[in-house]
Amino acid sequence: PAKIIIDTDPGQDDAAAIMLALASPEALDVVGITAVAGNVPLSLTARNARIICELSGRPDVKVYAGADKPLSRTLVTAEHVHGSTGLDGTILAEPTMPLQDTHAVDFIIETLRTEPEGTVTLCTLGALTNIALALQKAPEIAGRVKELVMMGGGFFEGGNITPAAEFNIYVDPEAADIVFKSGMPIVMMPLDVTHKVMTLKSRIDRIRAIGRPAAVAMAEMLDFFERFDIEKYGSDGGPLHDPTVIAYMLRPELFSGRDCNVEIETTSELTVGMTVVDWWQVTGRPHNAKVMKDVDADGFFDLLTERLARL
The C-alpha atoms of residue 50 and residue 27 are separated, in whole angstroms, by: 21
Query: What distance in Å separates the CA atoms of residue 156 and residue 149, rounded to the nearest whole number?
Result: 20
Question: Choosing among ligand BDR, Ca ion, none, which partner's interface includes residue 63 (Cβ < 5 to 8 Å by kind)?
Answer: none
Closest CB 86 distance from Ca ion, rounded Å: 9
Tally Cβ neighbours within 10 Å of residue 271. 15
Query: Residue 79's closest CA among 39, 41, 46, 52?
Result: 39
3-state SS string for 171-240: HCHHHHHHHHCCCCCEEEECHHHHCCCECCHHHHHHHHCCCCHHHHHHHHHHHHHHHHHHHHHCCCCCEC
Burial class, 231, CB count within 10 angstroms (exposed 0-12 / middle 13-18 / buried 19+): exposed
Least distance between Ca ion and beta carbon 17 (Å):
8
Question: Is position 204 an interface residue for Ca ion (rule: CB under 5 A)?
Answer: no
Grouping H, G, I as helix, E, B as strand and the rest as coil, residue 304 is helix
- Amino acid sitting at position 59: P
Residue closer to ligand BDR by CB (options 160, 275) is 160
The residues binding ligand BDR (CB under 6 A) are 11, 13-14, 39, 78, 81, 125-126, 151, 160, 166-168, 241-242
What is the widest separation between alpha-carbon atoms in the chain? 53
Report the distance separating Cα 275 and Cα 228, nearest Å: 24
| Choices 5-13, 72-80, 169-177, 223-231 (CB under 5 A): range interacting with Ca ion | 5-13
Q: Is 177 one of the binding residues for Ca ion (CB under 5 A)?
A: no
Quick check: is 241 catalytic?
yes
Q: CB under 5 to 8 A by kind: which of Ca ion, ligand BDR, none does 220 bind?
A: none
In the complex, the smallest distance separating the C-beta of residue 310 from ligand BDR, rounded to whole angstroms, is: 23
> What is the smallest separation between the CB atom of 154 and ligand BDR, expressed in angstroms?
8
When the beta carbons of 82 and 144 are compared against Ca ion, the nearer one is 82
Do 18 and 10 meet the contact criterion of CB atoms below 8 Å apart? yes
Residue 160's binding partner out of Ca ion, ligand BDR, none, with CB under 5 to 8 Å set by partner kind: ligand BDR
Contact between 92 and 50 (Cβ < 8 Å): no
Which option in ligand BDR, Ca ion, none does residue 130 bind, with CB closer than 5 to 8 A by kind?
none
| Distance of closest approach, residue 124 Cβ to Ca ion, in angstroms | 9
Q: Which is nearer to ligand BDR, 81 or 260 (CB)?
A: 81
Site for Ca ion in 89-148 (CB under 5 A): 125-126
Neighbour-count burial of 174, counting CB atoms closer than 10 A to its CB (0-12 exposed, 13-18 middle, 19+ buried): middle
Which residue in 80, 82, 241, 287 is the catalytic one? 241
Closest to ligand BDR by CB, 6 vs 125, is 125
Least Å distance, CB 24 to Ca ion, is 19
Closest CB to ligand BDR among 241 and 290? 241
Q: How far apart are CA 57 and CA 238, in angstroms?
A: 27
Q: Which does 167 bind (CB under 5 to 8 A by kind): ligand BDR, Ca ion, none?
A: ligand BDR
Positions in 238-267 near Ca ion (CB under 5 A)? 242
Q: Which is nearer to ligand BDR, 22 or 109 (CB)?
A: 22
- What is the distance between the alpha carbons of residues 215 and 305, in angstroms, rounded to a whole number? 9
Give residues in contact with Ca ion (CB under 5 A).
9, 11, 14, 125-126, 242
- Give the residue numbers marked as catalytic: 241
